[in-house]
């Protein structure tokens, strides 16, 4: 089975349909914490909702598109990272994350996203990776900065949540920038 060790007793591995019950339990712990920051379709309710979310990502991965990876801490699913978009033909992808509060502050997201970016640039030949986040999501923007991404701009009032529209930041890193900064260096 594919599993990569991370720090603090955590590991990164594919999040698949067979994990639906575990994903549903995780969403019960994380739902209200992540709801303002991720797309509404991602925040699953119940076992059927969890299966639906995981099935959509499995279908997208089968078409060489988006991919979903879970972060397990001491055997419990606590969050994950993903390719929200993955377009091999254009050489562009979007990386993202979510995490329940109990796992924050350990560097797990930055380390996991670094693994995804290494794979995208080195194994798949991607040229550009993006990071999208609400402009008021300081924790998410901090991950983009730690990954060496550049803030390219802000899309005004394009992120609707609960009847309010929020600005979205677009960050990116190009393959040559990533390689120059990270070749042989650990992502911290």
Domain boundaries, the chain: 4-182
Mean pLDDT of 91-115: 95
pLDDT band at residue 183 using 50, 70 and 90 as cut-offs: low
Question: pLDDT tens-digit profile of 119-164?
Answer: 999 999 999 999 999 999 999 999 999 999 999 999 999 988 889 9
What is the CATH T-level fold of the domain 4-182, as seen in this structure?
Aminopeptidase (3.40.630)
CA angle 117, 13, 77 (to 5 degrees): 115
Nearest to 52 by CA among 33, 76, 68: 68
What pTM was estimated for this model as a whole?
Answer: 0.91
**Is 38 strand, coil or helix?**
coil
CA–CA distance, 187 with 16 (Å, rounded to integer): 26
Buried b (16+ CB within 10 A) or exposed e, 94-112: bbbbbbbeebeebbbbbbb
Q: Which of the pair, 184 or 66, is modelled with greater confidence?
A: 66
Q: Quick check: 40 pLDDT over 50?
A: yes
């Amino acid at each position: 089975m594919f599993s990569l060790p991370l720090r603090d007793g955590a590991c990164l591995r594919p999040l698949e349909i067979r994990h639906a019950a575990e994903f549903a339990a995780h969403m019960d712990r994380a739902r209200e914490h992540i709801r303002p920051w991720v797309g509404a379709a991602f925040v699953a309710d119940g076992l059927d909702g969890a299966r639906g979310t995981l099935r959509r990502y499995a279908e997208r991965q089968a078409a060489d598109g988006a991919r979903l990876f879970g972060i397990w801490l001491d055997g419990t699913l606590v969050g994950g990272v993903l390719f929200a978009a993955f377009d091999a033909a254009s050489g562009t992808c979007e990386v993202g994350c979510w995490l329940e509060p109990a796992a924050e502050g350990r560097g797990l997201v930055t380390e996991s996203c670094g693994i995804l970016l290494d794979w995208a640039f080195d194994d798949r030949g991607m040229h550009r990776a993006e990071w999208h986040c609400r402009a008021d999501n300081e924790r998410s923007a901090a991950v983009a900065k730690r990954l060496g991404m550049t803030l390219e701009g802000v899309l005004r009032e394009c992120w609707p949540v609960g009847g309010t529209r929020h600005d979205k930041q677009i960050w990116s890193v190009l393959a040559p920038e990533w390689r120059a900064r990270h070749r042989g260096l650990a992502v911290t």
